[in-house]
């Protein structure tokens, strides 16, 4: 149901564009004027953005966006309201372009074609695509997909990779993660592919996690970034500085531990190379 609503939102935006634009103002000016900072995030992609048992929208990406929120308040010198909206791979760029949201903080992979439409923050998480299968499935990786029914999420980088690299696979594309996973559970597809870390999230949220296995080597490289409207370097600097400061003073790693630490549902230790990659993105003060 949520899905259709965002579809409607996109259509409304397209129609709205023709009748209601607003004067050119930077994102910082807009946030200062309205007093609201709106982020677009995921609602079914644990642990990056999902609805928890208390019915709250939480996650790793949302915690990072809250750091940006804090920096914004400091920069503008006043209290700003943080609003969270759902964005999916298919809706996030239109939501940004239309000004409905100011920042995408979800599971968006930074890619070169996407940089034609939006600007990205520094990379805040690194993963790669894998496969989720039922225990006992013959699928072990991308080499075993010929003739198999492979579920993927529309608009994701992995969907594109499968389409291009394994044309013999029968790709079935769903608009959201929940539908893709349900299709796997119900046996409509043989495997569901997404970024590895998200598959771990799905496995741990499943009623019976032991039934599911994440398999295969990373067959794509997925650096996650936060996306914003193009050519707005002042706002981008605020976002990047907030992330850099958090990496520098260790707050990032605390948040990382909160969502990916050994005691969580999705233990995912930060590799040494990933850690040094994060640290090297931090430019000097």
Q: Report the interface residues with other proteins, using CB under 8 A.
A: 1, 3-4, 7, 10-11, 14, 17, 21-25, 89-90, 93-94, 97-99, 113-114, 116-118, 149, 151, 154-156, 160, 172-175, 179, 182-183, 186-188, 229-231
Q: CB-wise, 32 or 182, nearer to other proteins?
A: 182
CA separation, residue 233 to residues 27, 195, 219, 237, 240 (Å): 10, 29, 33, 6, 10
Q: CB-wise, 71 or 157, nearer to other proteins?
A: 157
- Minimum CB–partner distance for residue 27 and other proteins (Å): 11
- Minimum CB–partner distance for residue 53 and other proteins (Å): 23
- Minimum CB–partner distance for residue 188 and other proteins (Å): 6
Longest dimension (CA), the chain: 58
Q: CB-wise, 47 or 180, nearer to other proteins?
A: 180
Interatomic CA distance for residues 104 and 32, integer angstroms: 19
Q: CB-wise, 3 or 85, nearer to other proteins?
A: 3
Interatomic CA distance for residues 126 and 207, integer angstroms: 27
Tell me if 3 sits within 8 A of 44, measured CB to CB. no
Interatomic CA distance for residues 238 and 236, integer angstroms: 5
CB proximity list for 237: less than 8 A, separation 6 or greater: none
Interatomic CA distance for residues 221 and 132, integer angstroms: 17
Q: CB-wise, 171 or 247, nearer to other proteins?
A: 171
Interatomic CA distance for residues 260 and 250, integer angstroms: 15
């Amino acid at each position: 149901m949520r899905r259709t609503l965002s579809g409607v939102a996109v259509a409304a935006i397209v129609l709205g564009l023709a009748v209601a634009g607003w004067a050119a103002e930077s994102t910082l000016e807009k946030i200062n004027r309205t007093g609201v900072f709106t982020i677009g995030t995921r609602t079914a992609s644990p642990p990056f953005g999902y609805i928890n048992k208390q019915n709250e929208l939480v996650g790793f990406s949302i915690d990072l966006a809250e750091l940006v929120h804090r920096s914004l308040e400091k920069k503008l010198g006043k209290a700003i309201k943080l609003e969270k909206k759902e964005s999916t791979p298919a809706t996030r760029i239109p939501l940004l372009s239309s000004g409905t949201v100011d920042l995408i903080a979800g599971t968006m992979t930074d890619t070169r074609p996407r940089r034609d439409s939006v600007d990205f923050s520094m990379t805040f998480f690194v993963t790669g695509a894998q496969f989720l299968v039922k225990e006992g499935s013959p699928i072990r990786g991308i080499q075993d997909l010929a003739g198999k029914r492979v579920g993927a999420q529309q608009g994701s980088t992995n969907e594109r990779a499968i389409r291009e690299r394994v044309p013999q696979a029968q790709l079935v594309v769903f608009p959201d993660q929940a539908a893709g996973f349900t299709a796997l559970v119900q046996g409509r597809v043989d495997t569901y592919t997404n970024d590895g870390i998200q598959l771990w999230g799905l496995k741990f949220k499943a009623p019976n996690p032991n039934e599911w296995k994440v398999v295969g080597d990373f067959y794509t490289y997925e650096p996650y970034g936060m996306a914003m409207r193009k050519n707005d370097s002042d706002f981008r600097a605020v976002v990047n500085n907030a992330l850099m400061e958090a990496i520098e003073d260790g707050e990032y790693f605390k948040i990382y531990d909160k969502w990916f630490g050994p005691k969580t549902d999705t233990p995912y230790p930060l590799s040494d190379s990933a850690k040094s990659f994060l640290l090297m993105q931090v430019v000097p003060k």
